[in-house]
A and B are shown apart, each in its own frame.
Chain A
Amino acid sequence: MRWYYKLPLRMRSLFRKDKAELELDEELRFHLQSQIEECVKQGMNPQEARHAAFRALGGVEQVKEECRDARRINFVDNFLQDGRFGLRMFRRSPGFAVIACVTLALGIGATTSIFSVVKTVIFAPLPFRQPENLVHVWGSDGPPGQHYRRGDQVFFSSARPADLYDWREQNQSFERISAYRKCSMLLTGGKETDLVDGQEVYDDFFEMLGTPAQLGRGLQASDYESGGAHVVVISNRMWVQRLAANPDIIGARISLDRESYQIVGVMPATFYPTPWGYSEFWIPHLANQGERSDRKSWGLIPLARLKPGITWEQAQIQFDVISARLIEDHPDDFLNAVVVPMDAQLIGSSWKLLLLLSGGVTLLLLIALVNVANLLLARVLERQTEFAIRKALGASGARIAYQLFIENLGLSLAAGALGFGFAFVLTKVMLANLPESTGLPRLETVRVDFPLLAFVCGICFVASMTCSLMTLKNSRDRSSLTLQIEGRAFSSGSGKRRLGRAFIVSEFVFSLVLLILGVILVQSFVRLRRVDPGFDPSNLLAFRVQVPAVSYGKFSFGAKDPRRERLYEQLEQIIAAVPGIESVAMSALLPLRHEINPSPVVIPGHEPPLSERSGSTRLDTVIQIQTGIERVNPEYFRALRLKLVSGRFLEERDGPEAPLVAVVNETFVKAFFPSQNPIGKRVSVWYGNPVIVGVVADFKLNGLDRNALPEMFWSLRQDPWTDVWVMARTKSDPALVASAVLKSIRNFDPDMPLRDMNSMADVISESLWLKRIAAVLIGLVAGLAIVLAGIGIYSVVSYSVSQRTKEVGIRVAVGASPSDVLRLILGETWRLAPVWWAALLPMS
């Protein structure tokens, strides 16, 4: 086939269509005339000859059509024609078009946006050089032999500088080991003073991760020399949000903790090396003298790059050997190492949430597809007469299928365009509304993914096409019947009504199942909202006070910290003095917002309850030997209206000089002193050995839907935490006193960052966001499904009724009353009821 024959021919067929048509006419006319002459020569009269000629040729129009097919002009022509026809059909029944389009768009949009998130968060490669070789190295003060297992918890204890040096020297599995420590610094000089979260990183940190900087460079060895200039590497977010994305930022200076730092690099937005919170900057940690043997400064989190060919499991085995050696040198303050691969660390448990959301939207898409399929089926049924007539006039089955193809393509494209807009909005809204506590990494790099969108649209198209073709095939078997029925029969055949019935039943069953699911989810959500948290959440104003290290000194775990301790006492007095405040509770973590990281409990004089369970890191067993530790002010128990079970609450006399005391909850007593009075018992937890002085009734700390865990409360006076949450009990609506509280703290220290100010009721409802999303999502889907099912059922029933118009007419003519007719129609529908129930039973 030579293109130089083909091209002009095709061009002519396409653009000179009228001419080609005329020529075809002329060609056939010439043929017919020659044939007629021939017949006349043979002795027929002209009339007979004419008939004979036409008979010999067959249908002139059919021949023409076949010639057009042969020329392939039909391909393009049909396309335009079907497009126009489809548009007209849609205009004639805009309800169908809009509903089908919006339904599909909803499914496409939701699916695309959620899977865009999944792709970015889970499947996008981690932005490091050979990320598979990177691991986190956590500490574990739990039983020796605690290991990470796939799918299990990924957070363990932090480490101390001495551990880092020990591990660096002794573990041969690693190419490099570095570490970071969270640090919040006061950023001044901008519009307003703000405390920003960053990380102080040890040497080799950037070399180990191997992510190229977006601008400038990462930190390098020379930055760690003492006496060097203060340098800082900033995140993309800080660059964009605080520094106006200035391209000449390298070399500029910012003021952190009132000291000047020179910016040497900007890291890309995807750089997210640590699993919690977003770091806005990285500064080098300058090693000091005593660090080598510092076993007090907790909070260090080591990261390491494995040597090529070594797995994280092998590194863990080597750590176990090293630990066995180290435990003899430092029996009192020894720490195991737990290796966690980087991908597991960063994605953490977020995949569970994403799995839920993915499941939800997949269901939504499926429902949308089934609904649209049902709409299409009903429509094809309605159009059976049209198809039958067209077929009688010479349209081939393929031609009709092609027309459906064009219509479905148009539908999918329109739905795809609408779906894109929907996905765009949904992604925006979702990213803006997901609470920080989801812990999903890299969320801010999420964009609507176009290939994904195309893929989802493709699925929709294939599904709608398949369904159209199936119906067409179904109707083709009866197409000859259809015309007869239209013309003569008085009642539609029972076979045809059977299909309609199947639709009614499936629509009903499907939407009822969804409705039941939706009701269950909404109900469980509502029930959760009514769960008694065990404390009184009404009229509680909650906010967080972050304590700038530059003003109040660096925080270290378990060390005496008179400045913070005084600060908290002062803050308590200042807030309590604000009019409208009744009492002030303070705690290191906010109930129902934070998970409390548990620590193992050792009870002197007891058989160590741990050894028989050692080696297991499964959450359920760990919980039995661990307790959460909360640091609270003495007023906490009264302000939250907690119930005392025995002993006493913490009091002001448990000051910094007094021996460490603790209040525990009932679950703690059940776990560790099942048959004893715990009051007066001494236990050893992490760095403290408190005496238990009281037992408080259980209340919800970790989540409304979770059972209470063992908890222990220490006084903030004795163990001040790095920063605190305030829960102020107000006399009326907390929003009314919020600004007064803010102002009086600003008067005390204008640089004190206050964050996340909210009523406790809002905190509680935010803690249920996942349940809410699930309930709202499935509820919406169910509602939509009911509406769609209604439309589908209406169209099927009205079709079947319209099929029986003649039958009804005859019945009325021979004396049936309108109520008889109604009974006939309703009876038909009602007879299906047992079938729904039968189908529903196994599903529910």
Chain B
Amino acid sequence: MAKPTDLVQGTLDLLILRTLALQPMHGWGIAQRIRQVSNEVLQVNQGALYPALHRLEQQGWIRAKWGESENNRRAKFYSMTPDGAKYLRQEQEQWKRLSSAIGLVLDMS
């Protein structure tokens, strides 16, 4: 990879979008969910999470709305837009192609 940061950043976007595909969620919830689903393997860098959310919102892939959290506090909930869904599908394809290609290379005997 020429630019490893792209991978990391792109990966975070992908993870956020995938999480939001299930249901609208606030930033804290997204971080927790990613951690749980990946069996505690993936620790989202919290410092990078919010800028990423704002960027995704700016690009029109997610939308923000204020709502009530589980413990009745005001929280900002993000949900996926149709454009975001389309982008997620594209990126998932891309990711699968890439990871299987890397798998092939790594399994080479």
Q: Interface on A for B, CB 8 Å cutoff? A: 1-2, 5-6, 9, 23, 26-28, 30-31, 33-35, 56-59, 62-63, 66-67, 69-72
Contact = CB atoms under 8 A, between A and B. Distances in A.
Interface string B28-68: 10000000000000000111001110110111100100100
Contact of A58 (B47, B52, B55): B47
Interface stretch (B16-24, B71-79, B96-104): B71-79
A5 B27 contact: no
A56 B43 CA distance: 10
A31 B27 contact: yes
B69 to A, nearest CB: 7
A63 B51 contact: yes
A27 B58 contact: no
A9 B58 contact: yes
Contacts of A66: 47, 50-51
Contacts of B66: 23
B54 A70 contact: yes
B47 A70 contact: no
B75 A30 contact: yes
A684 B54 CA distance: 96
23 contacts: A1-B60, A5-B63, A5-B81, A6-B58, A6-B60, A9-B58, A26-B76, A27-B50, A27-B75, A28-B50, A30-B28, A34-B69, A56-B46, A57-B46, A58-B46, A59-B47, A63-B51, A66-B50, A66-B51, A70-B52, A70-B58, A71-B54, A71-B58
A62 B27 CA distance: 17
B57 A9 contact: yes
A42 to B, nearest CB: 13
A6 B56 CA distance: 11
Contacts of A9: 57-58
A33 B27 CA distance: 12
B39 to A, nearest CB: 18
Contact of B50 (A26, A35, A56, A67): A67
Contact of A69 (B28, B46, B51, B81): B51
Contacts of A67: 50-51, 54
A34 B28 contact: yes
Nearest to B73: A30
A69 B55 CA distance: 9
A63 B50 contact: yes
Contacts of A6: 58, 60
Q: Is the interface of A mostly helix, strand, loop or mixed?
A: helix
A63 B28 CA distance: 14
B74 A63 contact: no
Given A5-B81, A70-B51, A31 B46 contact: yes
B85 to A, nearest CB: 13
B59 to A, nearest CB: 6
Contacts of B59: 1
Nearest to B75: A30
Contact of B58 (A26, A35, A72): A72
Contacts of A72: 58
Contacts of A2: 60, 83
A5 B83 CA distance: 10
Given A23-B76, A30-B69, A62-B47, A35 B54 contact: no
Nearest to B28: A34
Contacts of A30: 26-28, 69, 73-76
A830 to B, nearest CB: 52
> Lowest 6 A-B CB distances belong to which pairs?
A58-B47, A5-B60, A66-B51, A70-B54, A70-B55, A34-B28
Most chain A CB within 10 A, of B57, B58, B63, is at: B58
A69 B45 CA distance: 18
Contacts of B46: 31, 35, 56-58
A822 to B, nearest CB: 54
A277 B73 CA distance: 89
A69 B50 CA distance: 11
